[in-house]
Chain A
Amino acid sequence: MNVAELVALVWLGSIAAGLVGALSGLGGGIVVIPMLTLLFGVDIRYAAGAALISVIATSSGAASAYVREGYSNLRVGMFLEMATTVGAIVGATLAAYLPGSTIAVIFGFVLLASAAFSGHAGHEPSGDEPPDPIAGRLRLDASYPTQAGPQAYRVRGVPAGFAMMLVAGTLSGLLGIGSGALKVLALDWAMRLPFKVSTTTSNFMIGVTAAASAGVYLNRGYIDPGLAMPVMLGVLVGSLAGARLLTRLEATALRRVFVLVIVVLGIEMIFEGLSGRIGS
């Protein structure tokens, strides 16, 4: 296979990965890494570098559409970014010291955990929760637009959310993913943000976290232009098409199929990592 053929195949595969990422709700980055390592035999560090680039592209692409709707909570996002960027720098640095096989096994377990939480429905605020002292001091409470007009909500669980974001950032830097599933879980489950606010705020945070990791990856030589180029362009096309499909289809059954794909990929990554076929 020559360079042109590899670029074409990786581009097509990345479109598929972007589609699966969008339809399963887990993001393209998390699908693209097993595709590159398992299908194309790419070293997991190059795969992680290319995936991170695609995560930034997808985040910016989705955000330019989201931002006008006014759902995201900029204060919550920025406050927690302190945790995710520190985590990202730590994780990306750690990636240089761990063997590829260990990273593959951790990646597999993160895939499985993300799939397990992906059905998580989210909740709507009742608006009459008591105020939380920490969230109050940090002015995190806000409102978001609904069909019945602006709905106020209160934020809580700031320390738990902050701790989860440290972990999300570290995993993002270590594995080259956006850690979107864990971020939504922290915002929605620990901090009780409305689901729409959680997903848009998480999307904003994913881009910033990935940029922090990508800086370290770039300096360490993980980002190969010949590989990152088809991955970025492919995942971007696939995830934008997937997001458009999602609004048209009632996607629960379809979503289950894709979550199953993710589970299989997770098991495969763990197996390949343990058997030493990845990153020996």
Chain B
Amino acid sequence: MRIENGSRWGDQRIEQMIGRLLAFGLALAASVVLIGAAVYLFRHGGEKPDYRVFRGEPADLRTIPGILGDARQLSGRGIIQLGLLLLLATPVARVALSIFAFAAQRDTLYVMVTLVVLTLLLYSIVGGYL
């Protein structure tokens, strides 16, 4: 009988890798957010916040190049946004790793399925919307 998915040695090893990747990605993202938070609160802690009216974020905090530019200038909000971007990347990395898991099993159907999901994710993050 064919051994079902989820119980194979190869699967188990890749799942452990994925688990470590998620824990690492989360820890990294949270640390960057914390550093940004310190800078942001130190510089802007005394200002008056206003979230009652929606204005939308400035253009530089909406795109990957903009966020990278802000973070490089050590802007607190830019560094936080970079941490959030890293957080966003952890599920994407998980999907990308799954491609290898399915490829190792020569499962072409699920390599395709996973590629579709990865494309949709990247489309959304890189800036496409309908």
* Residues in A lying within 8 Å of B, measured CB to CB: 1-4, 6-7, 36, 40-43, 45-46, 53, 56-57, 59-61, 63-68, 70-75, 78-79, 81-82, 85-86, 88-90, 92-93, 100, 138-139, 141-145, 150, 152, 204, 207-208, 210-216, 218-230, 232-233, 236
Contact = CB atoms under 8 A, between A and B. Distances in A.
12 contacts: A57-B30, A74-B101, A78-B114, A82-B116, A142-B4, A208-B121, A211-B92, A219-B62, A220-B129, A225-B77, A226-B49, A236-B30
A142 B124 contact: no
Interface in B19-64: 19-20, 22-23, 25-26, 29-30, 33-34, 36-37, 40-41, 44-49, 51-54, 56-58, 61-63
A143 B7 contact: yes
A90 B57 CA distance: 21
Nearest to B45: A4
A232 B33 contact: yes
Contacts, number: 230
B130 A90 contact: yes
Contacts of B44: 3, 226
A212 B5 contact: no
A74 B121 contact: no
B71 to A, nearest CB: 10
A138 B53 CA distance: 48
B91 A68 contact: no
Nearest to B80: A225
Contacts of A71: 6
Interface string B78-94: 10110111011011101
B117 A211 contact: no
A168 B88 CA distance: 19
Given A60-B91, A222-B57, A228-B80, 8 more contacts: A1-B48, A2-B49, A57-B87, A73-B5, A81-B117, A212-B124, A218-B84, A220-B62
Contacts of B30: 57, 232-233, 236
Contacts of A89: 120, 123-124, 129-130
Interface string B104-130: 000101100110110011011111011
B73 interface: no
Contact of A226 (B6, B40, B109): B40
Contacts of B95: 78, 81, 208
A59 B53 contact: no
B53 to A, nearest CB: 6
A141 B109 CA distance: 15
B37 A215 contact: no
Given A90-B130, A150-B7, A233-B34, A41 B52 contact: yes
B120 A74 contact: no
Given A7-B41, A211-B91, A225 B36 contact: yes
A64 B26 contact: yes
A45 B44 CA distance: 23
Contact of B20 (A64, A70, A219): A64
